[in-house]
Amino acid sequence: MISTYRRILAALTAMCLVLGVTACGGDDKADKGSAEAPAAGGKAIERDPANASKGTITVASKNFEEQYILGEIYAQTLEAQGFKVKRRLNLGSEQVAYKALRGGDVDMYPEYTGTALTSFFEVKVADVPKDPDATYELAKKAYATNGITALERTPFENTYVVATTKATDAKLGSPETISQLFAKNPNLSISGFPECRQRADCLLGLRDSYGFKGKFISSDGKFSDLDGGQSELTLAFGTDPQLLLTDKYVGYKDDKNLFPPYHITLGIRDEAVKTIGPKAVETLEAVQEGMTKAAMSELGRRVVLDKQEPKKVAADYLSEEGFVN
């Protein structure tokens, strides 16, 4: 299983290197020692029966496929250590999820660093550091003032990508950047998740930074919006597996660096950190080490394109990485 998994990821990464599409990008930390696949052979997770007596840990996520996968990976990592876990893996938007975390309704949920800074801590998009580590450190400090511990960031990030179909791209003259796209076509329609409408790192930023003047369509459909003709463009996510289908879809380069770094940090209430203990925290961070851009695209492919359940995909990841048998 592991060798097959890694051959798939190697092929995906090789495709990214050849095509050079925006969606396949990543920072140096993301690819260090794992240019073709995640780091092999993680340490097997040890179960401690005493953890079952520490109460139930509630793991949450937002409401899309990658979040379901991440939520399951974290939940199953805790379960493998012997903790009792409750899942709330479809809370909704980041505002809903963060309110639940701060209020103690859930104990932890994964959030993107750039999203946390701009949505929770009132950092202007232009003031978010472009360096992923600096962005993480700023988010970590902000979380700490609210009684939340931010675990180490993941190697991968999942940034926004303005995307369209290959056919529409040809009609638009095949621009390479978002600037070139909107310079000649400012009135195109674009779909995006509902919260995008009021976010400075989403629709508002496209209007202010790139001069986008077209219609915004509130939708979670993304590529189905393109295929069904509901919109001419969509705001996709960088790890969306559809972006590897370069015979069907095209992504444009964010040449003005509107979108800040979006690496995952698992936010855990300080009280929950004390409950699970340092060994559990260390294990959660160790499980993240294989989460490269190529790995997350592959896991997303299994859920989105192969229609596998996130719970199974998460379990396979932990097994393939050597954390569970």
Task: Tell me, yes or no, whether 325 lies in a domain.
Answer: no
Distance of alpha carbon 131 from alpha carbon 293, whole angstroms: 17
Q: Which of 251, 279, 307 is the C-terminal boundary of a domain? A: 251
Q: What is the pLDDT of residues 100-120, one digit of tens each?
A: 999 999 999 999 999 999 999
Distance of alpha carbon 121 from alpha carbon 267, whole angstroms: 14
Domain assignment of residue 27, given as a range: 2-157+262-320
Residue 191 sits in the same domain as residue 128 = no
The percent of the chain in helix, strand and coil, each rounded to the nearest 5, is 50, 15, 35
Residue 220 sits in the same domain as residue 117 = no
| pLDDT at 27 > cutoff 70 | no
Give the model's pLDDT for residue 43.
84
pLDDT mean over 135-155: 98
Distance of alpha carbon 319 from alpha carbon 325, whole angstroms: 6
Model confidence at 211, pLDDT cuts 50, 70, 90, reads very high
DSSP designation for 197: G
Residue 313 sits in the same domain as residue 176 = no
Q: Cα 321–110–30 angle (5° rounding)?
A: 50
Burial class (CB in 10 A: 0-12, 13-18, 19+), 325: exposed
Residues 81 and 51 sit within 8 Å (Cβ to Cβ): yes
Give the model's pLDDT for residue 325.
87
Q: What is the pLDDT of residues 237-281, one digit of tens each?
A: 999 999 999 999 999 999 999 999 999 999 999 999 999 999 999
The domain that holds 307 is classified in CATH as 3.40.190.10
Task: Tell me, yes or no, whether 189 lies in a domain.
Answer: yes
pLDDT mean over 135-159: 98
> Which residue from 237, 240, 266, 297 is spatially nearest to 97, judged by alpha carbons?
266
Q: What is the pLDDT of residues 156-174, one digit of tens each?
A: 999 999 999 999 999 999 9
Residue 219 sits in the same domain as residue 267 = no
Query: Pairing state of beta strands 148-150 and 108-112?
Result: unpaired
Model confidence at 315, pLDDT cuts 50, 70, 90, reads very high
Q: Supply 50's token pair.
A: 């005493």
| pLDDT at 41 > cutoff 70 | no
pTM given for the model: 0.83
Task: Tell me, yes or no, whether 72 lies in a domain.
Answer: yes
Residue 46 sits in the same domain as residue 151 = yes
Task: Tell me, yes or no, whether 143 lies in a domain.
Answer: yes
> Which residue from 269, 270, 262, 268 is spatially nearest to 235, judged by alpha carbons?
262
